[in-house]
Each structure stands twice: as structure tokens, then as C-alpha cells.
Amino acid sequence: MGKSFEVLDGGNVTSPKGFLAGGLHSGLKKVDRNDLGLIYCEVPAAAAAVYTLNAFQAAPLKVTRESIAREGKLQALIVNSGNANAVTGAQGEADAQEMRDQTASILGIAGHLVGVASTGVIGELLPMDKVRRGIANLPGRLKADGGDDFCQAILTTDLVQKSTAVRLTVGGQAVTVAGAAKGSGMIHPNMATMLGFITTDAAIDAEHLHLLLRKATDSSFNMITVDGDTSTNDMVVVMASGLAANEPLNPEHPDWAAFAEAFGFIAEYLAKAIARDGEGATKLVEVNVTGAASIESARAVAKTVVGSSLVKSACFGADANWGRILAATGRAGVMVDPETVDVRLGDFLVLEQSRPVPFDDPAATEYLKGNEVQIYVNLNMGTASATAWGCDLTYDYVRINAAYRT
């Protein structure tokens, strides 16, 4: 069965009707690269968000949560990189609030229609003089093709920009769903030092948008890991302009499943792009778990295997060490039958019914040298399945994080 949507070449957050974006260098970063970005919708958009589970939630998250709670709408998102504005106390919250209020004032919209996001170093106050000057100049940078400028503005240790868009038909109307994200380190299930922004021109209310976002997040952003650390600033926000003029979507709509598939594709694409761009990474690692007794068990095993430092190191070294995969499976905290597990590395069956089988070790090593590695674990206990994504663990990961503040 084919996909219900088409992927748009060069698609980004401004592909849906009604959205503009832009970015500029405000001086938050020493390098001359955009560090302040803005997404703007021509009309108040239905909005929903999910946030980090870290107990230390950064000030911008609190401001955004308050904005969306007001009436389930946003019209703009102001985002900075280079400084997380996290663990900065009352002053940090005042600064995040000021970012929201200044953005609203300069755009001529209500304050609660603005969301705020920040990413970067924790524990340092924002240099608000630079932020103020940057915000004042941002409206002039907004444009229909400003998605790339926005994407550059949200990067920290990321090596590449992450964005995509798809188009489908809903009730006879063309509908577009798009997204952009940043994330490279401090990435772990239940989100990470990642920011995700999804836009669509579909007509859908905030309640159903939140339902869709929660479900998509559970199988995408919550299924990636780079280093086992969950950040203070993680947030995924979705805005729906409604300008596609379709009949409002809900679970009873005949095209709901198609829209959910397109929405899920955007979330998964961005999640995989984050995992692939893990700090110092040389390859994307995908773990597919089948035969689990429940979806919760499948997800637990997949996330444990892909997050194992030993598995990640083996992938980096192209070592077909199935023992590390089996050990991670056994410590996932769920019921596993130690007599029934099968493991494959790509097309190479290395373990069957929990017993090693002969395989072409040199050929498996060559496979592991590629830039994508797929690991398959069949628990043979049920029908549930799940997939998780991560990356290898390299020398460069230590180098990058040993000097993050300097």
C-alpha cells in the first residue's frame, strides 16, 4: 500500500499556506551564523506542544506552555540558539517573558500568541541587549522562503539543517505538513536537547492536534537516543493555520488516517535526522524489535539496545558483537524469554532461538562499516513491534562535549 502523501523537494516550515520564517545573527554566538529565528503565521493558528520530562524545565518552556494554555493558539515562535536560558531563576523567566512580549509588540499581535524556545549553554543569563536588537530586526527578515534561515538559527552542535514537507489531499483540498528540528547531543527517549517545529495549513482544532502530536511523538522523538541524557529545553510545537480550507479534521473524518500518516512521517523524518546527526556520529543505527508481548515491551527493548554504549561502540568499530545486543535486550526491564531470541545484523542472522549460528563475519564487518546499520531483534513472545534510532559512539563525541562551553 503506497503512502497517502508526496514529499516536496526543498520543503520546509514555510511550505504550508500562511507561514513565513526568517533568521539572523544577533551575537549570541561567537561565529557569524544565524542564532535568532522566527516563525510567523498570517493568522492565529491552532497549536499544541509536548515538553521535556526533565525536572529542570527551562524558562522558555514555561512561557510557551502558558501561551498555548490561554486559548490553544499561536501565531509566532521566537527561537534562539547559543544560550538555553535554563536554570537561570526569576531573571531567566523574566527574560523569556520579555522575548515573548517584544516579539508580540513588534508583530502587532497579542502576547499569548507567541511561543518561545531556546537552546544552548545551561546556567547563563541571556545577553538581552543583543536579543532585543535581534528581535527588532527580525520582522524584516520574514519571507516565504525563509525556512533555511530559520533552520540555521536554531542549530548548536548540529552539522546539518533538518527540515522536510509533504503534501496530501484532505476532503478534496491540498494540505501541506512540514517540519524543522535541531538536535545533536543530550538526546534520549522522552525527548532530548532537541527542538521540533511542525507547521500545517490543515484545518484542525488544538485538541485533536495535541492528540495527533502525542501519538506521533511516542513513535518518533521518544524513540531516539544519542547519549542517554535528557535536556532541560526539549520541546516540539505544532501550528495549524487552517488556510487549506478543508473540512476540519477529527478522528471520524474519512481522511484522518491519511493526515495522521503524513504527520507521523514528518515527526519520524525529523527524529531520524537528529539521530543521524548525533555529536561525532558516523552512522545512523536503527533497532527493530518484533515478537514482543506488548508495544511497551518492544519500545523498552529497542530503546535499551540503541542506547547501549557498548552496542554503539561496536557499531563504530564495525564489530559484529551480537553479545552486546543480547545483553542490552536482557536488561531492558521487561519480560524476555532467554530461550527464544533471534538477532540479525542487516541480512546476517547471528543468533537464533538464543543460540549463536555461523555467519560470514568479514561480510558482516563490511556491512557495519556503512553509514546505516539496522539491527533486528525478534523476541518471539507476541505480535508487538517497535523501532528506535540512534548513532554510533565515537572519539569525536568526547572531544565535542569535553569543550562544549569553550
282-299 burial, b at 16+ Cβ within 10 Å, e below that, comes to: bbbbbbbbbbbbebebbb
Residue located via cell numbers 522566527: 38
Which residue, among 283, 236, 213, 17, has the nearest Cα to 115 in the 3D structure? 236
* Gap between the Cα atoms of 133 and 198, Å rounded: 27
320-336 burial, b at 16+ Cβ within 10 Å, e below that, comes to: bbbebbbebbeebebeb
Residue 313's identity, in one-letter code, is S
Q: Is the separation of the CB atoms in 207 and 254 below 8 Å?
A: no
Q: Between vectors from CA 260 to CA 289 and to CA 189, what angle results, nearest 5°?
A: 40
Residue located via cell numbers 546556567: 123
Q: Which residues, other chains included, contact 116 with Cβ-Cβ below 8 Å and sequence gap of 6+?
A: 60, 63, 64, 67, 77, 78, 79, 96, 99, 100, 103
The DSSP code sequence of 204-222 is: B-HHHHHHHHHHHHHTTGG
Burial degree of 383 (CB within 10 A; 0-12, 13-18, 19+): exposed
Backbone angles phi, psi at 303, to 5 degrees: -70, -35
Which residues are known to be catalytic? Answer: 193
DSSP label at 16? S
260: cell is 495522521
Residue located via cell numbers 502558558: 66
Pairing between strand 284-292 and 372-378? parallel
* Gap between the Cα atoms of 17 and 245, Å rounded: 10
